[in-house]
Structure 1
Amino acid sequence: MFRFQVFACFLCLFLMDMGKGFSKTSPPVYSQLEERQVVTLHADFSVSHEVTKDLLVMSREGLDHVRVVLGYDKLRSIESFEAEMINPLTQKSLLKTKLKDLRDVAQFSQVNIFDDNRLKIYEPSTSVFPVLVKIRYVMKSKTNFALPTWVPVPNYNQKVKEAIFSVVYPEQLGLKYKEVNLPTEKRESFETGLKTVSWIVSDLEVQGKDFKKEDDYRLLLAPVRFGLEGVVGEMSDWTGLAAWQYQLNKNRDKLPDAFKAQIQDMVSEADTDFKKIQILYQYLQKNFRYVSIQLGIGGWQTQVAAEVYQNRFGDCKGLTNLMKAMLAEVGIESNYTLVYAGTDADDIEVDLPSNQFNHVILQVPLKTGPIWLECTSSTLPAGYLGEFTKGRHVLVVREDGGYLTQTPSYNTEVWNTLSSKNKIRIDNQGNAVIESAVSAQGNFAVKLTDVKYHLDARQQRDFLNRNSGISGLLVNGFQIDLHQEDSLPKADLAYDGAIIKFVQSTAKRHVLKSFLGKITEDQLAFSNLFKTEEYEIQLPEAWQSESQLPQVDRKEEYFSASLQSRLDGDRLLISTALQIRLPEEFSDEEKTNLVKQINSTFDYSLLFLKTPTTSTLPNP
């Protein structure tokens, strides 16, 4: 009994130290993990995944580390699950959980309207700490098309005492993998036609929430030969995966004869391929709804084009396939293209040919350069993709296999240009009215497209009030006109409004404070900005400047800025120009500091005096 009490005392002290962290600078430790995972690939392309983990939870925060979420659908099943919660000091079992005890819910995706995904969730609670939780479960997949990624440290504030990951597979299937930052080397063994590859790590660094994502440990897996619901393929390179995708969709692009005649009629007066693309793309946008459908192999095989036409809706695959079929009808070749989509999403691992995609777009290879179409959008102009799929490596699918290429990054000046011309008239009370004409192209034009199509009139006016070039502006009337030059979106915004107390007056002087709108980090989302502004300010009287009018001419490594101002009779004329070019590796912190630096460049005050009257002039 004495030995047990001494052991318990030392254990409690140890756990208290872990909960606080081992030093003042290291993150606190909420749990300790020992884990073993075994992924077994079978000759019939099915996969078994066995996970065994022991978690020593030190605090309530560590309960999040115990949570297990298991997805299942037509292709995946949960073979078994068991968990036990134990008091480590007394070794007394507190709670046992089986598969039937898990909470079962539908998995509602923001993008998938129809799917068969469900979740089993293990989420225990306890007021006893420390607590030991032992978990074991086995998953089964009917396909090896997608294999799990191993992240040895799955949670922040978790100490990984030891983690083992093994893959067992028949040599004829083949296996590819990519090690990212792993502090260990693989171990290999062979037995009766099966190859086993294992990775073992121990005593890894505890990660806090400030841990950099690019420094994390990961192991990426992919098969060489694979099968999905009886459709077998090989992806030793990207061409192999593209060839499999092409065969999966082959002969699913047939259209009804009546619709073919309608297509020909729609483009009968178009004199260029781009105009034909534009006409058919706009027809698709106006007449078909995006409804995501992910059921079994349907997650990869497109719907039949004739069905999409008849139903008037489809997912990204179905709408892209329909657009491809329409273009083929007028003699324009296009290519079904796989992409990993998402705003700020990471690019794929180009050196690991594998299933890394979640979306489909269309590439039209014209002689002047490829035109890209986002067929799920009802507002984007033809030829523009936007943030959702910009600057990504994509897999172009062709009859001969296909190839890897990149979508546009839209990070040059022509895609990030804003210009405005403004006329302001000031009354005797210092209030002002303004008339503005703003021209936007590229990414800024698409922003105005979203404003026009996705916001009502009140919301549009609120947006303009918040994002105008002048602080304190209250917009009255406005109009947004959209157009494009080839693939380049353009927008013209005209508005008028009022600015209360634009000028502050005292008995002797009138003060016009800095009113130029500040740039934001959002405007640098594409790492490039070219912005010009012109202001013609009609003064109520012929004021004279008390001090020299501000002038700016600044050239730095990543930006250049200029400001010119002058008085022309009773008009104050101000013009600014700002050009920003940032490298791809520019960090968020550097961007924040640069924005502050640029905004301070245009921060000034203008002081004016009334023109002297004859009664105050000195005697001659």
Structure 2
Amino acid sequence: MLKLLFGIFLVSGSILAQTGDTLSAAKEVPVYSILKESQTLTVLPDFSYTHQVDRHIVVTSSDGLDHAFTRLFYDKLNSADAFELEVTDLNTGKTLKKARLKDMGDAAYYSSSTVFDDNRLKYFEVSAARFPIEVKIKTQVSSKTNFFLPRWSPVPNYNQKVTESTFTVIYPTALGLKYKELNLGGERKQEELGANTSITWTERDLAVQARDFDSDEDAKVLLAPVKFALDQYGGEMDSWSGLAVWQYALNKGRDELPEDFKAKILSLVAGVEDPYEKVKILYGYLQKNFRYVSIQLGIGGWQTMTAADVVKYSYGDCKGLTNLMKAMLDAAGIPSNYTLVFAGANADDIEVDLPSNQFNHVILQVPTETEPIWLECTSNLLPAGYLGDFTRDRHVLVTKPDGGYLAKTPAYDTEEWNEIRSVSQVVVDAQGNAKINTEQQFFGNFAADILYVKNNLDERQQRDFLNRNSSVSGLIVQDFSIDVASQDSLPITGLKFGGVVLKFSQMTAKRVMLRPFLGKLGPSHLANKSLKQLDEYEIELPEAWQPDGTLPRVVVDEEYFKGLLEMELEGKKLRIRRELSLKVPADLEKTEETDLLRKINTAFDRTILFANTPTPSTSSAYE
């Protein structure tokens, strides 16, 4: 027993000793656990693979318990084969817990009622009252297909010190394998083992990552097969065209429409000559009559439902709705292309130099003589031709019968797609309170944001949104309306609201200063790298107020932005007009963005002063 305890402390102590210098050198990043790990991925001649992981973790505090949490995904293509766990108290050498596969919990991978899938996971959570503890974990999972190969990231968790991590891939040389290394600093060893090839990557003594670590700097290896098979569908991923050929074959023949539905489609576009109008009509019909449901059943979630089934059930996932839309356009004589994309707001673009499965969503491309029309078939809000931030500005794989190619979706980063117009009437009483009525128009990306507010928030939440986002602090919204329109593919929303602001001005016995009401720009205004904004105010002032000095006029012409602020007073009415136009580079640093916003807001932060001759009245019409 003493020898056993000594051995445990010797191994663990060596790990702790190896990291002592690093821990002291990186005090600003706390270390919650210490990891030594090895992984082996073995691809077999029948395109299946096994993935074995051996982890040795020293958890130094309760914050590191999540680092020992184990998840094993399984479905019809993947199985969880083995799990062994042993937890040891390093203070006493006592074994606290042992567990096997049968001890793991089991849960659905998704819990939403709008998701149909057969994806599940097994999981095990480690608990402890004292630290440090040592956790040894061995797992094995298998897959029937090499179409989905795991990526290797040697640092799996924030606040984790990795002393050594190895990743070995063994595959039949005849099947081929592609890989891409990112930010590695260790060793790679390759050798031939008869009919197989073995590649091993080793990384040691890696830096501890804080939660604000830039993921673009993370070390990783991306894998992709050359020859692959998913169910009975085989293909070659030697090029993007090869993957597109396979995807097209996977869905071939699944776009047949019932004859009565085909007749319905033709009747909808009868007499319409303009191709965009046809697309708009049929896209609108899809949006009104078919709902989106996530379906991950079938061949890895990659083969679409038949168009006939989507018509029958009036729902489909992104694949089913896109396939139906393609079939509807085909019936109307308009060719279109089923297109793969990696979707997600602010998602990173794919690695264009590694042809592989990097996609999680499907959209539709409709070629035209000029620019293609892009359709997001899961949306019941967006106009035909507008994708929104879910799939904009990224590379996509367009599939065609004879292959396919990479294309780029629109970035929507010009002023046309990023415009805000605002007109406000303000009436200020003698006590400085104000009543405000505002009409705003939002174009493109900003319109899409208001569409979300209209369709996903209830009336109370919409009112709260307006109160929080008003350019005038303290606004109490009394009534509002949101209207939706579009100009071809350009979404437009109209927002009208009225309300009151108590103490719109700051007053003394002799002077009045209007509170800021033009609205400051924030990071959201720069999110699309372009902005065109026009704000107009007509402010009706009390008779007693007169300008105290010259009304300010500002003209700005700086790098990245131009602007104009002008005012004029006619009788009791103060008219103010602010124009802004900006265009920033895509690679603008965060600090540069902050400085730019400060410069813009400072340029138009002008105090407006009036002399005040009080009247006998003391009542307010807006209290």
What is the TM-score normalised by the length of structure 1?
0.93
Residue 162 (structure 1) aligned to one of 164, 184, 188? 164
Amino acid corresponding to residue 416 of structure 2 in structure 1: V
User: What SS does the aligned partner of 1:366 have?
Assistant: coil
Distance 1:109 1:404, change over 3 A: farther
Residue 68 (structure 1) aligned to one of 67, 70, 81? 70
Confirm or deny: 8 A CA contact 1:19 1:58 kept in the other structure: no
**C-alpha displacement of 1:578:** 1.5
**C-alpha displacement of 1:20:** 9.5
- 1:114-263 matches, within 5 Å, as 114-263=116-265
Amino acid corresponding to residue 449 of structure 1 in structure 2: L
Q: Distance in 2 between matches of 1:358 and 1:198?
A: 29
Confirm or deny: 8 A CA contact 1:47 1:141 kept in the other structure: yes
Q: Distance in 1 between matches of 2:101 and 2:465?
A: 50
Q: Distance in 2 between matches of 1:299 and 1:541?
A: 70
- 1:419-438 matches, within 5 Å, as 419-438=421-440
What residue in structure 2 maps to residue 507 of structure 1? 509
Which segment is superposed worse, 492-501 or 176-185? 492-501
Q: Distance in 2 between matches of 1:235 and 1:10?
A: 44
Confirm or deny: 8 A CA contact 2:248 2:399 kept in the other structure: yes
What residue in structure 2 maps to residue 605 of structure 1? 607
**C-alpha displacement of 1:541:** 1.5
After superposition, the C-alpha distances for 1:130-155 in whole angstroms (9 at most, x for unaligned) are 22222111111000001010001111
2:413 is equivalent to residue 411 of structure 1: yes
Amino acid corresponding to residue 283 of structure 2 in structure 1: Y
Confirm or deny: 8 A CA contact 2:15 2:163 kept in the other structure: no
Distance 1:62 1:477, change over 3 A: closer
Q: Distance in 2 between matches of 1:109 and 1:358?
A: 19
Confirm or deny: 8 A CA contact 1:26 1:206 kept in the other structure: no
Residue 309 (structure 2) aligned to one of 307, 310, 314? 307
Which segment is superposed worse, 312-321 or 472-481? 472-481
Distance 1:38 1:270, change over 3 A: same
Confirm or deny: 8 A CA contact 1:33 1:159 kept in the other structure: yes
What residue in structure 1 maps to residue 32 of structure 2? 30
**C-alpha displacement of 1:158:** 2.0
Q: Distance in 1 between matches of 2:245 and 2:582?
A: 42
Confirm or deny: 8 A CA contact 1:15 1:130 kept in the other structure: no
Confirm or deny: 8 A CA contact 1:157 1:207 kept in the other structure: yes
How many residue pairs were aligned?
613
Q: Distance in 1 between matches of 2:7 and 2:373?
A: 73
Q: Distance in 2 between matches of 1:19 and 1:128?
A: 24
Amino acid corresponding to residue 322 of structure 1 in structure 2: L
Q: Distance in 2 between matches of 1:57 and 1:443?
A: 46
**C-alpha displacement of 1:162:** 1.6
After superposition, the C-alpha distances for 1:319-339 in whole angstroms (9 at most, x for unaligned) are 000011111111111111100
After superposition, the C-alpha distances for 1:189-235 in whole angstroms (9 at most, x for unaligned) are 11221111111121222222232211110000000010001110111
**C-alpha displacement of 1:511:** 2.5
Confirm or deny: 8 A CA contact 1:18 1:30 kept in the other structure: no
2:67 is equivalent to residue 57 of structure 1: no
Q: Distance in 2 between matches of 1:300 and 1:108?
A: 17
**C-alpha displacement of 1:306:** 0.7
What residue in structure 1 maps to residue 388 of structure 2? 386
**C-alpha displacement of 1:486:** 1.9
Q: Distance in 1 between matches of 2:229 and 2:383?
A: 38
Which segment is superposed worse, 197-206 or 458-467? 458-467
Q: Distance in 2 between matches of 1:340 and 1:569?
A: 58
What residue in structure 1 maps to residue 555 of structure 2? 553
Q: Distance in 1 between matches of 2:125 and 2:107?
A: 13
What residue in structure 1 maps to residue 536 of structure 2? 534
Q: Distance in 2 between matches of 1:68 and 1:376?
A: 33
What residue in structure 1 maps to residue 360 of structure 2? 358
**C-alpha displacement of 1:478:** 3.0
User: What SS does the aligned partner of 1:299 have?
Assistant: coil
Confirm or deny: 8 A CA contact 2:544 2:614 kept in the other structure: no
Q: Distance in 1 between matches of 2:81 and 2:10?
A: 40
**C-alpha displacement of 1:262:** 1.1
User: What SS does the aligned partner of 1:271 have?
Assistant: coil
Confirm or deny: 8 A CA contact 1:421 1:535 kept in the other structure: yes
Confirm or deny: 8 A CA contact 2:77 2:300 kept in the other structure: no
Residue 346 (structure 2) aligned to one of 344, 347, 359? 344
Distance 1:548 1:110, change over 3 A: farther
2:585 is equivalent to residue 587 of structure 1: no
Q: Distance in 2 between matches of 1:187 and 1:12?
A: 29
User: What SS does the aligned partner of 1:490 have?
Assistant: strand
Amino acid corresponding to residue 382 of structure 1 in structure 2: A
Q: Distance in 1 between matches of 2:432 and 2:209?
A: 57
Q: Distance in 2 between matches of 1:432 and 1:39?
A: 69
Confirm or deny: 8 A CA contact 1:107 1:117 kept in the other structure: yes
Distance 1:611 1:58, change over 3 A: closer
Residue 321 (structure 1) aligned to one of 314, 320, 323? 323
Distance 1:487 1:257, change over 3 A: same
Q: Distance in 1 between matches of 2:22 and 2:99?
A: 30
Percent identity of paired positions between Structure 1 and Structure 2: 52
Residue 400 (structure 1) aligned to one of 368, 388, 402? 402
Confirm or deny: 8 A CA contact 2:8 2:93 kept in the other structure: no
Gap regions ≥5 residues in structure 1: 614-620
Amino acid corresponding to residue 258 of structure 1 in structure 2: D
Q: Distance in 1 between matches of 2:327 and 2:490?
A: 25
Residue 471 (structure 1) aligned to one of 455, 470, 473? 473
**C-alpha displacement of 1:447:** 2.0
Residue 46 (structure 1) aligned to one of 45, 48, 68? 48
What residue in structure 2 maps to residue 617 of structure 1? none
Amino acid corresponding to residue 432 of structure 1 in structure 2: A
What residue in structure 2 maps to residue 570 of structure 1? 572
What residue in structure 2 maps to residue 523 of structure 1? 525
Q: Distance in 2 between matches of 1:73 and 1:391?
A: 33
Amino acid corresponding to residue 597 of structure 2 in structure 1: V
**C-alpha displacement of 1:605:** 2.1
Which segment is superposed worse, 413-422 or 269-278? 269-278
**C-alpha displacement of 1:169:** 0.7
Amino acid corresponding to residue 412 of structure 2 in structure 1: Y
Q: Distance in 2 between matches of 1:109 and 1:404?
A: 34
Q: Distance in 2 between matches of 1:558 and 1:113?
A: 45
Confirm or deny: 8 A CA contact 1:539 1:572 kept in the other structure: yes
What residue in structure 2 maps to residue 267 of structure 1? 269
Q: Distance in 2 between matches of 1:455 and 1:562?
A: 35
Confirm or deny: 8 A CA contact 2:479 2:498 kept in the other structure: yes
2:53 is equivalent to residue 77 of structure 1: no
Q: Distance in 2 between matches of 1:329 and 1:145?
A: 33
**C-alpha displacement of 1:87:** 4.0
**C-alpha displacement of 1:7:** 11
Amino acid corresponding to residue 205 of structure 1 in structure 2: A
Distance 1:246 1:160, change over 3 A: same
What is the TM-score normalised by the length of structure 2?
0.93
